[in-house]
Every structure is written in structure tokens, then in C-alpha cells.
Chain A
């Protein structure tokens, strides 16, 4: 099946193939070439939770490949009337060829995949996984460093609820990076994930101190402390501004170190970092298009030509 629910649905070879395909798609992603590989196909964008980049980049990816997009948001739909996810997905099974789903509840993507026949792509399930973000993150890292093995990657911020960090850490561990997890005690990476990372043979170190990591890092991956995941706003206030990067913090960092962020940012990265050679987050957001193009083709069983011209 063409489902992508967690990174475990892809082998390392499949990931590399997707990244290679995404690279070929760059001129199509930029709009320089029109390549209607997905003409006649319909994507359902099922967003039960807010999204900017993920929804729009899937839509752009589909449209630049000649496909059509149905956009669903739960506000104003039958979900507001109490429709179950199962029922909503049954309908989509008949309306579209592939569906992207984001949902506030964890496990919603796997549940949808069990409920329907069309391929389901998980675009974030609660604090669970966000594997399509991981593909664009990996693409961005490979673009900058041309390898994964041996890189020092630092994941920073909300590692407890941060689904991008959950999926990305899994993939990075499989490709042999050295991972440093930086989070306050209340937002540490869930124990089942850390134990999985270690069983993949990854060197993982955990700390709550960011600044001493900067010098040796090849990639600093910042994440937002997610206000919407906190039930207690006092708890949120305690940690909301715990890690911030500004230009002056980067003095002494490696020449080719890159700073990434799945966005949106609040105050984790000062805008004065944007113009440094390290900032990669806006370009990272663009990379959502070629990687999602490659993924849509794979899920729909469409081969990407050897050369895109």
C-alpha cells in the first residue's frame, strides 16, 4: 500500500529513492517545467487541525503535477455535527485517489488507513508523527551536507509533543547521525522513542542546555513550544521562551552549520538570524513541494521519468 503513517513505513532505500526523485522534481516544483504526471488524479487534503505550509505545499505539489485538490477543514463540516472520523473517511474514499490527513488525535492517520482503501499520508496526528515533514527535513539536510552519517544533529525545544521531532529522530537514527536532544525536563522526548532510537544503534544524548551544543553542531533543528498542547497555561509560560537563537549566539559555529525549523516560529529564532548563511528554514519550507511531489507519485504508483526536462 501507499500509506505513509510513520517513518517505519519506509525502508532506508525507499527514503533515499524519494529524496533522489524529489531532487529531479526541483524544476517542476519551481514552476520552470510543467509535468502533468498526476493529471486526472484527485488529492483530498483532510485538515482537522490548522496548517499553513503542509496543506499548501501538498496542494502546490499536486497542481504542478496536473492533479486536482479537494480541501477539507473540520470547521463547517459534518465533523462539527459529530461525525466520526471513520464516516468522514468513508466518504473521502469515494471522492479522491489519495488523502493527506492532519488530526488533533494521535493514531488518527493509522485509523484512517485501516478505514479506507486509498493511500493515506499522515500530515500530523496529535503529538504523534509527521513523516512528510521528515522527508523535506532530510532533503534539506542532504542538500546542505550531502550525507547523513556522522553529522551532529541537535533537536531543540518541544520534543515531547513535537511530532516533527518524533519522526525526524527516527529517520536520522537510521542514517547514522549523532543525535543530541535538547529539551526542558517537562518536554523531553517520550521514553518509547528514545528507547527506539537507541535500539537503532544511534548515539543519543539528552540535555536541557542548548548554547554549549552550538559549536559542534552540523544541524540545529529548532521547534516551537506548542501552546495548543498545554492544558495548563502556567506550565506553558514557564518554558515558552526557554530556547531562543539570535545571531550573536552563532559566533564560533561551524561554517556550514544549518539552522532548521518546521515553522511557524514564535520567538525561537530571532529574525536577525534570517540573513545569516546558517538560516535554512524558509528554503526548508520550499522543499516541501518537491518531496511531496515525489511522495504523491510513489503513493499513486506513478513512475517519475529518469530525467525531468
Chain B
């Protein structure tokens, strides 16, 4: 991001900046990160700005909150190319990698209504397999059903 783009929203003092989110996906990312309600951190959201890499991209700035690895793993499901910077005192203190692992354990649950994991009392973890990375294709490791990616943020555990 250059300075002019940076200033589309105010630079933040402390927190996390998620850049290179595929255009239009920022709201879904907020849901994935469970940031859409119940928190008081200021959040700035930029949608559909031009990007060399993605054509159009979204940017999220979350103040006073450093995302942990588990949250980055969830982010990877819909924005595996995103770049994450941890900001401290207006400067980039750390860059964190977003990586989509091969197996998603207890991150999302299978959406299929007749999957064995729909019984909430069954104790084994929800497990889904990433069978394709581009475009991302995720299947339940128990029932084998492909998950609908446009709905995936509803399946976050």
C-alpha cells in the first residue's frame, strides 16, 4: 500500500492491518474472525480499491487487537493471499503469514444436514480437508461433502 492509499482511512496506532483481501470479502472476513459484533475495538474497512495483485481488494484495520495464529488460520480459508501486519506505535512491528493448512480441525463445521457431525453431542473434532487451493475447495473429512465457499463464514465454530 502506498501512502495515498494508506490515507484512505487513518493510520492506526496499535492493532492489525489485513491487506490484499479479495475484493468484496471483508465483511465475510469480519464474520470469520468473529469481529462483527460484541467488541468495542474501532475497525476501519476499505472495500474494492484498485490492486495490482488482485484487481480489486479490501483492507481491514482493527485497532488495539493483535490477531493470533488461530484467527489467521480462519482468515486463510477465504483470503489465503492476504498479508497481515501487526502495528505498534504507528509502525509495522511484525508481518504474519497467512497459510491454509491441509486439515481444518475445529475451525469450521460441515454444512451438510445429514453429516454425522451434525449431532452436537458427538465428541470428535470437526475436521475438513482442503483438497484444492486455487480456487479453495474444502470437503468434510467424514462425509466428503464439498462446502459452499460463499456461505463458509456461517460455519465458523
Contacts and interface: CB of A to CB of B under 8 A. Distances in A.
B101 interface: no
B124 A106 contact: no
A143 interface: no
B123 A105 contact: no
B121 A107 contact: no
A108 B116 contact: yes
A106 B110 CA distance: 11
Given A105-B118, A108-B116, A126-B114, A86 B123 contact: yes
Contacts of A104: 114
Contacts of A126: 114, 143
Interface in B129-157: 139-146
B122 A85 contact: yes
Contact of B142 (A82, A86, A110, A127): A110
A128 B118 contact: no
Interface in A160-191: 191
A161 B134 CA distance: 29
A84 interface: yes
A110 B119 contact: no
B16 interface: no
* Interface range on chain A (Cβ under 8 Å from partner): 20 to 34
A111 interface: yes
B143 A128 contact: yes
A131 to B, nearest CB: 12
A10 interface: no
Secondary structure at the B interface, as helix, strand, loop or mixed, is loop
Interface string A78-116: 000010111000000000000000011111101100110
A240 interface: no
A228 interface: no
A278 to B, nearest CB: 33
Count chain A CB atoms within 10 A of each CB in B114, B119, B124, B145 and give the residue with the most.
B114
* Interface range on chain B (Cβ under 8 Å from partner): 20 to 34
B139 A107 contact: no
B124 A115 contact: yes
Contacts, number: 62
Contact of B124 (A82, A86, A103, A128): A86
A191 B110 CA distance: 17
Contact of B117 (A107, A128, A191): A107
B140 A107 contact: yes
A105 B119 CA distance: 10
B112 A192 contact: no
A107 B122 contact: no
B115 interface: yes
A108 B122 CA distance: 11
A82 B120 CA distance: 12
Contacts of A106: 112, 114-116, 142-145
Contacts of B119: 84-85, 105
Count chain B CB atoms within 10 A of each CB in A86, A105, A114 and give the residue with the most.
A105
A109 to B, nearest CB: 9
Contacts of A192: 139, 144-146
A111 B115 CA distance: 10
Contacts of B112: 106
Nearest to A128: B143
A111 to B, nearest CB: 5
A127 to B, nearest CB: 7
Given A85-B122, A128-B144, A111 B117 contact: yes
A82 B121 CA distance: 10
Contact of A111 (B116, B139, B146): B116
Nearest to A108: B116
Count chain A CB atoms within 10 A of each CB in B123, B124, B140, B142 and give the residue with the most.
B142
Q: Which 4 A-B pairs have the closest CB atoms?
A: A107-B142, A107-B143, A106-B143, A107-B116
Interface of B: 110, 112, 114-119, 121-124, 139-146
28 contacts: A6-B144, A82-B121, A84-B121, A84-B123, A85-B119, A85-B122, A86-B122, A86-B123, A86-B124, A103-B116, A104-B114, A105-B119, A106-B112, A106-B114, A106-B116, A106-B144, A107-B110, A107-B142, A110-B142, A110-B143, A111-B117, A111-B124, A125-B143, A126-B114, A127-B114, A128-B143, A128-B144, A192-B146
